[in-house]
Every structure is written in structure tokens, then in C-alpha cells.
Amino acid sequence: MSTRLKSIKDRRIIDCHQHVNFHGYDASRLVEHLDNLGVERAWLHTWESIDGSLEPDYQHLSIEKVWDAHEKYPDRFIPFYAVDPRREDAEKRLGKWVDKGVKGYGEHKVRIRIDNPDSVRMYKLCGELGLPVLFHIDVSLPDNPRFWYNMDIDGLENVLKECRKTVFIAHGPGWWRYISKDAEKSKEVYPRDKIVGEGKIVELLEKYSNLYADISAGSGLNALTRDEELGIKFVERLYKKLLYGTDYHDSRHLEYLLKENRFADKVLDAVLWKNAELLIKHQVE
Ligand SMILES: [Zn+2]
């Protein structure tokens, strides 16, 4: 850990995008990792899909594992559960786990359109239950057809219009590439070229009060760093809608935010913990 990171121990930090039993991190190793970075707590997400389309590594991101980790470390892990909306008893399953203490719906990552009627039904239920929905949108390019999940950004806008009472947190390359207006032209999943104009995600984040985004994974970090100056402007403009999350077990996202005192305290506080806490606050109290 860098000296800079060591000096932030007085800052509150919530990682809104983590998984347990993922890349060799069981609950205790994950707590150790959070301790090293000075992260107070993490939202733990499942990944459930009934169509057998998950990569073998991800089969075990079950609600039972998330719940076990939460029970072992109740002050460190906040449990989320995105039941596959195609399950016949999806509502009942979600209700059962919400009664136990699940605080959000995530990570929603299934091989159907994001505005599929089954999914919309779940989003509406989440709106009624006060659960934020954290979703992944991917990119469908010829070289990565297996990553076809929750397409696409136009479908997202349909959902935002239809589910006004539900809070959504966007994540994934099919979201972040739209930081640039020329996203459709790019042949890369993670475009590295300069940002052109104001992308669709700026428009959506400003237009819909129920839409947020996490900066996690390679997709979030790439979008913010591909054009250093515009990335900083993006964060400064939209910090009230952005959440710190990693999906990873390193310090790159934190280093980005804390580098060279580039962001004001009010920006850092919002992104590092306040926005996350606000979205589930009424449930925690
Ligand atoms: Zn994830």
C-alpha cells in the first residue's frame, strides 16, 4: 500500500461492489483486504443465472455464501441478492431473503435484455421494497459474444422511464463506454481513445434522479482514466450520482480518487461513502 493510502485512515469508505468466494477471497481474506485499504464495509453481491451461461468460476456467487459471510462479519458486509427474474418463484425468493435482512438487488447480470418484462417486474418489486438495483450491462461485439448480458443502454432508458420509484446503480462496459458520444463506433470493449463530446451516460445521470453508477472494475476505471482531464470533470460534475466500488482486490480505484488531491472533500465523501449509505440508509436504521 502506498503512503498516500495509509494516510486516509480517517476517511470513511464503503466499497459498493464486492463478491465473496471470488478469485480466492473467502470472507476472512476479504475482511483482511478491506482492512488493508481502510475500507469500513462492503456490499456483497450474488451472481445468479438459471440458464447455465455463467463462467465456471462464478457458479458459487450464491446468496447462501453471501449470507454466511454477512453473518460472520455483520458489521463489514451488507448482503445483496439478485434473484434471476426468470425463476417462477423469483418474488417469493427475494421476499424471503429481504425478510432475513438483504438490503439490495445485485448484481443483476443475466442473458436477457435489461428491459425484459420479467426483469421489469423485479425492478418494480425492488422499488416497493426500497432495494437499490445494481446491474451490469455488457457490450455485444463479435469477439465477445459470451458476454452478452442485460443489453443495452436504450433498454435501460425504457426501464428508467417505467420504474421511477426504483433506484438503479449502473456498472459494466456496456454502460461506461457511453461516457463518449462515439461509443457505438468503437470496436473495443474498453475503448482507450479520448472522450468525444458528452456521452449518453451524462445525459441519463442528469435526467433520471433514480439513476446512479459505480466506478468499479476495469470498465469504470478505464472510462475515468482514458481521458484524464475529462474524467476528472465528469466526476466533479456528477459526484452526487457516483459510488466507489471495485469488483477487484486491489487499490487502483482508491488510488485514482485520492491521487494528488485532485478531488475536493465533498466529492470524495459523496463517492467514497455518503451516496452508498444514503441508498440503503432507511433500511439500516
Ligand atoms: Zn461484480
What is the value of pTM for the model shown?
0.94
- Ligand 1 centroid–CA 88 distance in Å is 24
The CATH number of residue 243's host domain is 3.20.20.140
- Ligand 1 centroid–CA 133 distance in Å is 13
pLDDT at position 285, please? 45
pLDDT at position 58, please? 65
21 located within any domain: yes
Q: Please give the Cα distance from 36 to 46 (Å, whole number).
A: 24
284 located within any domain: no
- Ligand 1 centroid–CA 66 distance in Å is 13
pLDDT at position 1, please? 47
- Ligand 1 centroid–CA 195 distance in Å is 25
- Ligand 1 centroid–CA 163 distance in Å is 23
105 located within any domain: yes
Q: Please give the Cα distance from 195 to 7 (Å, whole number).
A: 32
- Ligand 1 centroid–CA 175 distance in Å is 14
Beta bridge partners of 41: 14
- Ligand 1 centroid–CA 130 distance in Å is 21
- Ligand 1 centroid–CA 45 distance in Å is 7
- Ligand 1 centroid–CA 137 distance in Å is 11
Q: Please give the Cα distance from 157 to 141 (Å, whole number).
A: 21
- Ligand 1 centroid–CA 17 distance in Å is 6
184 located within any domain: yes
Look at the block and give the residue holding cell 451524462.
202
Positive/negative CA dihedral, 168, 169, 170, 171:
negative
Q: Residue 250 corresponds to which cell in the numbers above?
A: 486491489
Q: Which domain holds residue 123?
A: 14-277
pLDDT at position 186, please? 84
Q: Would you give per-residue pLDDT tens digits along the chain (285 residues)?
A: 444 455 465 789 999 999 999 889 999 999 999 999 999 999 999 999 888 767 666 667 999 999 999 999 999 999 999 999 999 999 999 999 999 999 999 999 999 999 999 999 999 999 999 999 999 999 877 776 667 889 899 999 999 999 999 999 999 999 999 999 999 888 888 999 999 999 999 999 999 999 999 999 999 999 999 999 999 999 999 999 999 999 999 999 999 999 989 999 999 999 999 999 999 975 544
Q: Is the peptide bond before 107 cis (omega within 30 degrees of 0)?
A: yes
Q: At what angle do helices 217-225 and 228-238 cross, to 10 degrees?
A: 110
223 located within any domain: yes
Q: In the chain, how many domains are there?
A: 1
Beta bridge partners of 212: 169
81 touches 55 (CB < 8 A): no
- Ligand 1 centroid–CA 199 distance in Å is 23
Nearest to 159 by CA among 117, 103, 105, 201: 117
282 located within any domain: no
1 located within any domain: no
Q: Please give the Cα distance from 130 to 28 (Å, whole number).
A: 29
- Ligand 1 centroid–CA 249 distance in Å is 12
Look at the block and give the residue holding cell 482531464.
229
- Ligand 1 centroid–CA 22 distance in Å is 10
- Ligand 1 centroid–CA 271 distance in Å is 18
pLDDT at position 8, please? 62
132 located within any domain: yes
